[in-house]
Amino acid sequence: MGLRLLVPLVLLWPVLALAAEGTPLRRYRATPMREMLALFLCIVAYFVLWIVADRLIEGATGAVAAGIIAATVLSLLAVPLLLFVGYKIFGVKPGQANPDH
């Protein structure tokens, strides 16, 4: 399972950067700790989603490559939604950076 996670791991970072800074989520700001917790939750949820999708798709098709590719595409498409949910959970809101200071 270790090497199978390499593909979604490598592709996560550019998509996460685009989701955080290239979408309307860019205007969401809070303390650095809250933003990091939201990003961490997004990353954990991404890998949970990827593992579940990989197992389901590979079980349905019987092909390892199909499971990896389809699970990666589905998980990457979910990154903006996962980041938004993480922001909501940790109270990151639209506005100025570091509103507490």
Q: Tell me: the pLDDT tens digits for 36-88?
A: 999 999 999 999 999 999 999 999 999 999 999 999 999 999 999 999 999 99
Q: Does residue 64 belong to any structural domain of this protein?
A: yes
Number of domains in the chain: 1
Q: Does residue 87 belong to any structural domain of this protein?
A: yes
pTM of the entire predicted model: 0.86
Give the pLDDT confidence of 81-94 residue by residue, as tens digits. 999 999 999 988 88
Tokens for 84?
Answer: 């938004």
Question: Which pLDDT value is given to residue 90?
Answer: 92
Q: Does residue 55 belong to any structural domain of this protein?
A: yes
Q: Does residue 99 belong to any structural domain of this protein?
A: no
Q: Does residue 48 belong to any structural domain of this protein?
A: yes
Q: Does residue 39 belong to any structural domain of this protein?
A: yes
Q: How far apart are CA 78 and CA 100, in angstroms?
A: 30
What 3-state DSSP class applies to 86?
A: helix
Q: Which domain holds residue 82?
A: 31-91
Residue 95 pLDDT > 80: no
Q: How far apart are CA 93 and CA 83, in angstroms?
A: 12
Tokens for 79?
Answer: 């990154």
Q: Does residue 96 belong to any structural domain of this protein?
A: no
